[in-house]
Amino acid sequence: MQRIGVFVCHCGTNIAGTVDVKAVAEALKSEPGVVFSTEYQYMCSEAGQNIIKNAIREHQLTGVVICSCSPRMHEATFRKTASAAGLNPYMVEIANIREQVSWIHKDMKAGTEKAIILGRAAIAKVSLNAPLIPGESPVVKRALVIGGGIAGIQTALDIADAGFEVDIVEKEPTIGGKMTQLDKTFPTLDCAACILTPKMVDCAQNEKIRIYSYSEVSEVKGFVGNFTVTIKKKARYVDELKCTGCGECTEKCPQKKVPNAFNLGLDNRRAIYIPFAQAVPKVATIDADYCNMLKNGKCGVCAKVCGAGAIDYKQKDSFIEERYGAIVVATGFNPIKLDAYEEYGYKQSKDVITSLELERLMNAAGPNGGTLLRPSDKTHPHTIVFVQCVGSRCDDGKGKSYCSKICCMYTAKHAMLIREKYPDTEVYVFYIDVRTPGKNFDEFYRRAVEEYGVHYIKGMVGKVAPQPDGKLLVQGSDLLADEQLRVEADLVVLAAAIEPDKTARSLGTMLTASMDTNDFFTEAHPKLRPVESPTAGIFLSGVCQGPKDIPETVSQAGAAASKVIGLLAKDKLTCNPCVAHSDEMLCNGCSACEKVCPYGAITYSDKEFRGPNRTTLIRRVASVNDAVCQGCGACTVACPSGAMDLKGFSNSQIMAEVDAICK
């Protein structure tokens, strides 16, 4: 018989407000095996933990039940407490009477009753607990960063700086991400390229960093400390080692009508291209969709002009397998497609553009060499209207319900830059709210209004109507003046909502990393573990976790790196001992468990057993690799003979809990 101690937490008034904690402690005192029962205001505090430690020693407790918050919150805390008092940490059970009781019920009587029942179930379970000893697994001292934007670059640099090797996998031909397309950055208005490209070069020159550009992750196996990742290097039809990036081919290629994705289709490039002058690696790539040689075997100009002999039309996708201890997701974002917002006429007029397109139009390396000309007739726009929240904070199902967070600031930046460079231009900004929390952010926005005279209008635009003379009639409402406005504009700029990159969803599935309904990766704890995925060994950096600007992205990238460094600094990881094991005497070798195991942790082997009358039997039985098993329990459900069981969550323990609840 176990000697069980019960500890009921008030969690201030979080629990005690809806649950009579004293009654719970009193009721659980008389449960079988319980030798001690008490309550305390904050069980997780040092004083609370001391109560537990003293009770373990004083009453020679062999099992502990804590009635408190979710085990996700403090199970680890209380296991450490028990361990410190000499008790095996797996002899601790948590009854969640906060998230499952006090936070969801209003009635004190019903809440108290339910808390007692959950406490009883935990007592029934802990009665059957057995001490567990965790094993260890080695850590591969290399990290993988998926995505080479500013988030991935910063994470990789910080990991490398700590002395660990790190690989960046980037799906585009160059690293740099969205930031390479930006002109100036808020709130200091320094040029994006000036602060980003040195970091890109640092990545290329750092001995600890390998860059797989034009590559994608195609398979992930393994677990924290020991991932095996297959990387697909897409055929770029250019030998990366031979190409010198001279650009000769990109000038001679006769296929000139390829929409330039880097400039968002505002101008054209050739079929063989280097996205921009500062690309890293500076290697040409052939766009197979447009290359005449690849499409119909006629051309071959680039091969002829290439002095390095780097062109290889027969190149195929290749696959590389690498092992990593940790994986950082930094897959970033894209602006949404504006198909559902034709009231703004994005498809109907060339002079209705997105904010990212404006960045290219204003960029010195952009299609107009930095002179702001409107796309339709290449004239200077004299009246410009910005529309904010296009697809953000949308509850009509067309757009995104969330705030994209960066638009208020970049719109203020655009407005200011335009007024600075072209003082004769009138600039209007239609907004729902202006949201500028962040260091020096609100001052920045106020400067746009007060010093630069940008007309901020609270209200949304209903229609952008192209006029016969080429002007755009913007109809909107001014909610503060309570009147309808009509502005004749030359250029309309839409602040499109941002959404996670399309590759995020399939990557999330590969990594078994959870995502929210918007396809943003979910953090392990929204406040206390913001850069870790709930899946061990997976870390989050940048907008893949939620909308954020560059300063915030860089902070998060550094935080993710420090978590990775903390992991890679360990030689061995403690394994979760709550894993499956097979009772060889019951196993009939049917393979049902092997088929359902998502981690490939189960193998079969022939073993000798003693048969009747001193004979020897050879039987095929399952065995579980403790280091690979994640303790999901799928095999215990699939096993027809009941041979598979999960340590710490055995079938008998679960049934005991159910019985205690139904009693």
Partner 1 sequence: MIYSYYPGCTLKTKAKELDRYARRSAEALGITLNELPEWQCCGGAYTTAQDEIATKLASVRALAAAEQEGGELVTLCSACHNVLKRVNHDLLTDGEFAGKVNRYMNPEQPYGGKTKVVHYLELLRDTVGFDELAKKVVKPFTGKKIAAYYGCLLLRPGKVLAMDDPENPVIMEDFIRAIGGDPVIYPYRNECCGGYVTLEDQALAVKKSSAVMESAEGFGAELLITACPLCLYNLNKTDGFGTEVHYFTELLAEALGVKD
**Binding site residues, partner 1, CB under 8 A:** 341-343, 345, 347-348, 463-468, 473
Tokens of 158: 């910080």
Q: How far is CA 63 from CA 2, 29, 344, 500, in A?
A: 6, 14, 66, 46
Cα atoms in the Cβ-side hemisphere of radius 13 Å centred on 64: 33
Q: Please state the closest distance from residue 396 (CB atom) to partner 1, in A.
A: 9
* CB of 449 or CB of 465, closer to partner 1: 465
Cα atoms in the Cβ-side hemisphere of radius 13 Å centred on 278: 17
* CB of 450 or CB of 469, closer to partner 1: 469
* CB of 322 or CB of 343, closer to partner 1: 343
* CB of 152 or CB of 345, closer to partner 1: 345
* CB of 117 or CB of 389, closer to partner 1: 389
Q: Please state the closest distance from residue 465 (CB atom) to partner 1, in A.
A: 3
Length of the chain: 663
* CB of 160 or CB of 489, closer to partner 1: 489
* CB of 117 or CB of 474, closer to partner 1: 474
* CB of 486 or CB of 620, closer to partner 1: 486
Backbone angles phi, psi at 569, to 5 degrees: -70, -20
Q: Please state the closest distance from residue 263 (CB atom) to partner 1, in A.
A: 25
Which position has the token pair 């880097």? 262
| DSSP H or E run through 195 | helix 192-205
Please write down the HEC assignment for all residues of 296-332.
HCCCCHHHHHCCCCCECCCCCCEEEEEEECEEEECCC
Torsion of Cα atoms, 28 then 29 then 30 then 34, to 10°: 100
Q: Please state the closest distance from residue 468 (CB atom) to partner 1, in A.
A: 4
Q: Please state the closest distance from residue 505 (CB atom) to partner 1, in A.
A: 25
Q: Please state the closest distance from residue 387 (CB atom) to partner 1, in A.
A: 14
* Closest to 440 measured CA to CA, from 542, 309, 551: 551
* CB of 348 or CB of 401, closer to partner 1: 348
> Residues of 637-658 as b/e, b for ≥16 C-beta within 10 angstroms?
ebbeeebbbbbbebeebbebbe
CB neighbours of 160 closer than 8 A, spacing ≥ 6?
Answer: 166, 206, 208, 209
* CB of 341 or CB of 445, closer to partner 1: 341
Q: Does residue 86 contact residue 92 with C-beta atoms inside 8 Å? A: no
Pairwise CA distance, residues 575 & 536, whole Å: 11
CB neighbours of 64 closer than 8 A, spacing ≥ 6?
Answer: 4, 5, 7, 52, 56, 78, 82, 87, 91, 92, 93, 126
* CB of 421 or CB of 463, closer to partner 1: 463
CB neighbours of 511 closer than 8 A, spacing ≥ 6?
Answer: 220, 327, 329, 533, 535, 538
DSSP string, 213-282: TTEEEEEEEEETTEEEEEEEE---SB-TTT-----HHHHH-S---EE-GGGTTSSEE-SEE-SSTT-SS-
* CB of 229 or CB of 464, closer to partner 1: 464
Backbone angles phi, psi at 91, to 5 degrees: -95, 15
Backbone angles phi, psi at 319, to 5 degrees: -120, 135
* CB of 346 or CB of 539, closer to partner 1: 346
* Strand 268-269, strand 258-259: pairing: antiparallel
Q: Does residue 97 contact residue 15 with C-beta atoms inside 8 Å? A: yes
Q: Does residue 188 contact residue 146 with C-beta atoms inside 8 Å? A: no
Pairwise CA distance, residues 79 & 4, whole Å: 15
Q: Please state the closest distance from residue 238 (CB atom) to partner 1, in A.
A: 41
* Closest to 274 measured CA to CA, from 244, 307, 233: 244
Q: Please state the closest distance from residue 466 (CB atom) to partner 1, in A.
A: 6
* Closest to 544 measured CA to CA, from 257, 383, 329, 364: 329
- The angle that helices 192-205 and 150-161 make with each other, rounded to 10 degrees, is 40
* CB of 190 or CB of 488, closer to partner 1: 488
* CB of 160 or CB of 464, closer to partner 1: 464
Q: Please state the closest distance from residue 469 (CB atom) to partner 1, in A.
A: 8
Q: Please state the closest distance from residue 475 (CB atom) to partner 1, in A.
A: 10
Q: Please state the closest distance from residue 498 (CB atom) to partner 1, in A.
A: 22
Write the single-letter amino acid at 366.
G
* Closest to 358 measured CA to CA, from 182, 506, 161, 109: 182
